[in-house]
Amino acid sequence: MIKEIEIDKIYFRLFDDNGFDNPTKIDNSPVYNAICGNSKPYDEYHKRMVRLGRAKAGYMNTEDFLKFEESFNYLAPPYENDYVRVKQTGHLYAGWDGAHRISVEKKRGKKTIKAILMDGGFKHKGYSNLVDLSTIFNNLNYDDYVIIKDDGMFPNYVDDDDLDLLCKDRNILRQCIINQLGEYETNGYKIFEKNKQVRHHIDIIPSGTNEQNKPYGVNNLLNFRFDLLDQSPYLQQFGHFTNKIEIKDNFFDFILDRKIKKEFEWPVMFEKQGTFKANFPCETDDLVVRFMEWVWQPHKQRHINYVINNLKNTSEFIEVVNEFTNIEIDDTYIKEMLNQEKK
């Protein structure tokens, strides 16, 4: 299907140093910047593409690209059927190919471009970033929260992802988040909420997503979830094996009182706005929460692996676990845990 697409609704999926697709606003892309007088980012990106083995025959270096720009005319004979290809993702369109051609058209002041709409999932894994978490947290107006069990991607995220937030009052935090989701509803996104006893889910589902139409690939109806927690979940039991854990009433307050702020830049998917800050547990409390998650649900092996690989202050870790939970550990336990992992 060929459709006239607003160029400013298109973004590029460009490889980062690890070969992971990173959604990139056209204005922030090395491709567009190269023809706007700043070729250094494109030089670096071209080298990266070569190193990753992604620079196919004919992939232009900076000099070739600048020459291409001078003579390029979109869909001019004999290339009248050589449309760029895009894939709809929510209210936006991901460039399937054609980043160079789209960039040239944008620089020339074109507002739209004829493109082929593609079906199917993306070939390479990458971030989603349809939801601007940076702006949401920058404008949150609520400070009694921490992001727990962070996977290192924040403020980026992948499709069907969630963010766990421990807070003092999930009703207040919920309202602060909901207040900022109006623009997504305007763009056709569905916002579903679930109150699940000790936690509250805010699910964001892009427009056009249903059982028959899955624009993000297999089983990806959900784009992103905020998971708000203000009470202990560790007495809940599920269909799989769990261990009940008792914690003191002031444990979450203890974590919130010791929170730290981390500074981040806006992802390249969005307009550059400097930096913002978000709250996280201190290093020891982060490890304690992950440890408890594993004790509670032992199949979540990734949490204990993270603890083992990052535990430094064992004395404080033991002290916090013993002080605020009914789990009893000591130096011997820690040594056995580390030795068992080595085995």
CB neighbours (10 Å) of residue 238? 8
Mean of all residue pLDDT scores within the chain: 92
Task: Record the pTM.
Answer: 0.91
Note the pLDDT tens digit of each residue in 123-140.
888 999 999 999 999 999
Give the separation between CA 196 and CA 95, rounded to whole angstroms.
38
| Residue 63, C-beta contacts closer than 8 angstroms, at least 6 positions apart | none
pLDDT at 45 over 90: yes
The whole-number pLDDT of residue 166 equals 98
Name 123's bridge partners.
Answer: none
Radius of gyration of the chain (CA): 24
Contact 86, 118 (CB under 8 A): yes
Average pLDDT in the 175-186 region? 96
pLDDT at 221 over 90: no
Least reliable range by pLDDT among 75-79, 188-192, 219-223, 306-310: 219-223
pLDDT at 266 over 60: yes
The whole-number pLDDT of residue 341 equals 58
The whole-number pLDDT of residue 56 equals 77
DSSP string, 138-184: HT----SEEEES--S-TT---TTEEEEEEES-HHHHHHHHHTT-HHH
Average pLDDT in the 81-108 region? 96
pLDDT at 174 over 60: yes
CB neighbours (10 Å) of residue 100? 21
Amino acid identity for residue 229 in this structure: L
| Residue 130, C-beta contacts closer than 8 angstroms, at least 6 positions apart | 89, 90, 91, 92, 206, 223, 224
Give the separation between CA 59 and CA 50, rounded to whole angstroms.
9
Percent of all residues in the chain with a pLDDT value above 70, rounded to a whole number = 95
- C-alpha dist (Å) from residue 304 to 165, 239, 252, 285, 309: 20, 21, 20, 14, 9
Angle between helices 62-71 and 99-107 (to 10 degrees): 60
Average pLDDT in the 57-78 region? 93
What tokens appear for 339 in the block? Answer: 């030795």
H helical segments located in 165-282: 170-178, 182-186, 251-257
Average pLDDT in the 259-281 region? 95
| Residue 273, C-beta contacts closer than 8 angstroms, at least 6 positions apart | 134, 135, 138, 266
